[in-house]
Chain A
């Protein structure tokens, strides 16, 4: 055949990566299952919200870091993606305060 690749067609190539992918999958699945449990066992309140937000950030870390491979990119790329997200945190804090204020005035 004309298609002769210089890459090795070794069956074991990428086995490490595939293991990491499935490991990430199980972490995401278990975290989602635990979230599901907490939704029905814990009383609504600041603690429950904090747990959900924390678990969501952990899930986001695994999706962005492993699936999107950002963890293995160069530092400047990682920061170029992460630093702009500070604006989202600012918007969140500002608008949540605003929402509370509208509630008080209504």
Chain B
């Protein structure tokens, strides 16, 4: 035998060693996540660039009115709650969404821990909780987008240059070219960043469902280990991690 003590021969790659004491799948998942970090960083850093190229709102927070000439204050944009029309609840909904995602990360890591003990029933239970958290987050995001697209009752009056003369018009909500809350770029970044993150959450929910299904049908029990839960878990925590950054740089700062 080789001098290196391998606790589990199955972990050895085809070259006969286990680089960085990680299995092939786990290491590749880590490298994928590093590349994904760059994609999300590029999106968030571009947001910073465009934000600083616009003037910030200079007045008092209470007197804030939306205008396409300066960058909006996020707490004045995201202040609505479902079923509570007209209530000013700044950042409450997005706070709830953050809590849901952190909690689903906790249930995911509990599933991974149960997998280490080959405790099939517990893995199933926590995978179900993680699925519930992911689906709830997606539902919340759908509502948030709908509200953002439809806009407020009053809308915002903007002046536009049409055929050489200034025309006043009222804009309701936001799309990729018009935005009642601020410069159109603000809405563009909202759609791209939360949309790209939401796509990741959706893929995560699909992967989590596959892991739940294969746990419930005993695939991993027959295989003898629950490493797949760990690999998909890495991805799910990464999605949570990205949201922590989106929450800070899009909603708080």
Contact = CB atoms under 8 A, between A and B. Distances in A.
A42 B253 CA distance: 11
Interface string A66-104: 111000011011001100110110011001101110110
B113 A14 contact: yes
A67 B109 contact: yes
A25 B102 contact: yes
Q: Is the interface of B mostly helix, strand, loop or mixed?
A: helix
Contact of A7 (B95, B117, B244, B247): B117
Contacts, number: 136
Interface string A26-37: 001100100110
Contact of B53 (A14, A66, A80, A102): A102
Most buried by B among A17, A18, A67, A91: A67
Contacts of B34: 81, 84-85
Given A7-B117, A100-B52, A59 B110 contact: no
Contact of A81 (B30, B233, B244): B30
Interface of A: 3, 5, 7, 9, 13-14, 17-18, 21-22, 24-25, 28-29, 32, 35-36, 39-40, 44, 48-49, 52-53, 55-56, 59-60, 63-64, 66-68, 73-74, 76-77, 80-81, 84-85, 87-88, 91-92, 95-96, 98-100, 102-103, 106
